[in-house]
Structure 1
C-alpha cells in the first residue's frame, strides 16, 4: 500500500455546511437533473427526504479532497492516480446485470437506476490505511434494487463485480498488475439489505466523478472503504460466501467482513486512530479515535451478535 500522504486543504476551501444544506434543499425542491459529464444527457433525479440516521453534523470533507485522494487501482495504485488517469473512462452507456438466486433476473440501464427515489446520505468513510472522510452522497438503498429481482430463499449473500476496460483503465493493462481483474466484493444478504447500504450515483450534489466510481458504486459506511466497490456492472445473489479481491490477494490482512474495528489491528499498523482528511496538513496531522463500526454501532451491531469480530475481521 502507498504511504499515507494527506492533501493539504486550507480551511478556506472547506465548504460551509450551511451552503451545502442550501444546495441540498434546492436539489430536492427543484427536482434537479444529474448530468453525466460528456454524455450530453440529463437524467431527472429529484431527491427524497432522508431520515436523521443517514446524516451527520460533522464537517464535510472538502470536495477537492474527495475527488483527488482515492483508492481505485483500476486507474493506478497511488492516491492521485484515479483523478489523473480516469479522464478517458466512459460511464455511459451503462448497465448493471442482476442475476443468480432471484425470481426475476434483470439487466438495468442507468436510466432505470436513476428512477429509484434518490436521497442525500452524509456518511463517514474509513479507509483501512488510517484516513477517513465525511462525504455527502446521493443514492438509493441497495434493498430497493434487490426487491425488483425478488431474491429466493436460498440466497444468503450478494456478490458484486466491477467493469473491466483496460483500454480506458490504465491500471488494468501492462505487465505489472497489482490485483486480478475484475475487482469483486461481497456482502451477507442482511448487510446488503440494511437501510444504511446504498448504491451511490453522486456526491456533493453532483454526478459521481469517474475517479469515485462512476456511474454507480456501493457505499457500506460501517465497513472499510475497499468494501464499497466502484463502477459496478454485475450483482449476483448466491448461496455461498462469495470470493473478494482483497481477501483472495492477502487473507491475513483483509477479511470478508472488514467491519471497522479499532480493536483489530492491521498486521502492519494500528487501527485504533485515524486522520480525518481536512483536519490538518502534512505537518499538522490531527488524529482521532476510530469508532467501532465507524460510528454506526447502534444501527448495525445487532447484525453480528454472537460472532467473534476478531476472528471474523
Structure 2
C-alpha cells in the first residue's frame, strides 16, 4: 500500500554538467516532466528539454534552515567530481564517470518492520511529505577531508512520524540500491553490496538528520546519491547512505557495511571525534576540499550543541 499524508495523504576534462544531469527519467517517474509542480511552500521549476540534455530539476522557494553553517560552500564541481560511491568505482573520480547512465526512474523506497504503516513511497510521495529546506552542512569524511554543501531535503523525523514506529522500534536500518548490471565496478570494491547502514531511533529523529533529494538548488546528480539519500552531518560521510531503497525499523542494532568489512576501523556510531584515531591515520586534522592547509577537526563535526545529549554517559572511544 502507499502511505499518504493525512491531508491527502495525498575540472575541464570531465563530462559537462548538462550532460551528466539528465534527469528526464526521474521527472517522468514523478509525472511532472514539462510542468511546474507546487507542494507546500516549495516550487519545482523544470527546464524545457534540449537536444543535448535535460537539465536537473530546479528547486526554488526553499525554506532556509536555522541549522545551516555560514562557512564558505565548496563548488558544485568539487562536490560532484570527488566522491565515495563504491558501487561506481573506488577512485574518487570514478562515480562522476561511471554513474551517468544510472537509471533512477520509477524509484520506490520501502518502509518495513516495527511501524504501524508499512508501505512504499514513490519519489512523488516523498516530495510531498514535508516542505523542502536548503541546509548548508559541513560534511566530514573518514579519510580526513571535508566539504561544505547546500543540501536540499527535510528532517527524516517527518517520515518517521508519518509511519508511526511501534514501541519495539529502537533502531532504523537502511539499504542502498544495487544492480550489478548498472554498477559493474562494484565487483572490485572489496565490500559487500547492497550497502547497508543504521542509526539509533533517537539519532534518526534528531532534526539534523536529513532525508535529502537535492543540492545546489537542483535534484541530486547520480554520483551524489540520486534520487534520495540521507545526510547525517555529525557523523563520518559513509554513514550518509546514498540511493536509498529500504528503511526498516527494528528492535536490534542493524549491521552496517563498513563495520562488517572492518569492525576494528569502523564502529556503528561513527561520530566525528578527533580524539579517536583511525588505526591507519589520525583524525584530529582535516583538509577542506580545494584548500591547501589543514584545519582542526571539530567534535561531532561542530554540531555538538545539537547532538551531544544523544551520547550522554557513553564512552565515545569505546562506542566509536
Q: How high is the TM-score relative to the length of structure 1?
A: 0.84
- Residue by residue, what CA displacement relative to the aligned partner does 1:105-160 show, whole Å, maximum 9, x if unpaired? 01000111111311001000000000000000001111111111110011000000
2:228 is aligned to 216
1:85-100 → structure 2 map (5 Å cutoff): 85-100=98-113
* Structure 1 ranges of 4+ moved more than 3 A: 37-48
1:133-282 → structure 2 map (5 Å cutoff): 133-173=147-187, 176-279=188-291
**Whole-Å Cα distance in 1 between the matches of residues 231 and 288 of structure 2?**
18
Q: 1:107 aligns with which of 90, 114, 120?
A: 120
Tell me the CA shift for residue 42 of structure 1. Answer: 8.7
Task: Describe the shift of the 1:171–1:150 C-alpha distance in structure 2 as closer, same or farther (beyond 3 A).
Answer: same
**Whole-Å Cα distance in 1 between the matches of residues 280 and 42 of structure 2?**
49
Tell me if structure 2 keeps the 8 A contact 1:274–1:289: yes
Q: 2:70 aligns with which of 46, 50, 57?
A: 57
1:77 is aligned to 90
1:14 is aligned to none
Tell me if structure 2 keeps the 8 A contact 1:46–1:118: no
Task: Describe the shift of the 1:153–1:30 C-alpha distance in structure 2 as closer, same or farther (beyond 3 A).
Answer: closer
Q: 2:302 aligns with which of 266, 287, 295?
A: 295
SS of 1:31's equivalent? Answer: strand
Any gaps of 5 or more consecutive residues in structure 1? 1-6, 9-27, 280-284
Task: Describe the shift of the 1:294–1:34 C-alpha distance in structure 2 as closer, same or farther (beyond 3 A).
Answer: farther
* RMSD of aligned Cα (Å): 2.4
* Count of matched residue positions in the alignment of Structure 1 and Structure 2: 280
RCO higher in structure (CA 8 A, sep ≥6): 1
- Residue by residue, what CA displacement relative to the aligned partner does 1:24-74 show, whole Å, maximum 9, x if unpaired? xxxx98823367x9997997955442342x211110001101000000000
- Residue by residue, what CA displacement relative to the aligned partner does 1:73-114 show, whole Å, maximum 9, x if unpaired? 000000000001001101111000001000010100011111
Task: Describe the shift of the 1:145–1:110 C-alpha distance in structure 2 as closer, same or farther (beyond 3 A).
Answer: same
SS of 1:255's equivalent? Answer: coil
Q: Which moved more, 1:152-161 or 1:111-120?
A: 111-120
Tell me if structure 2 keeps the 8 A contact 1:45–1:114: no
**Whole-Å Cα distance in 2 between the matches of residues 167 and 140 of structure 1?**
32
**Whole-Å Cα distance in 1 between the matches of residues 255 and 179 of structure 2?**
21
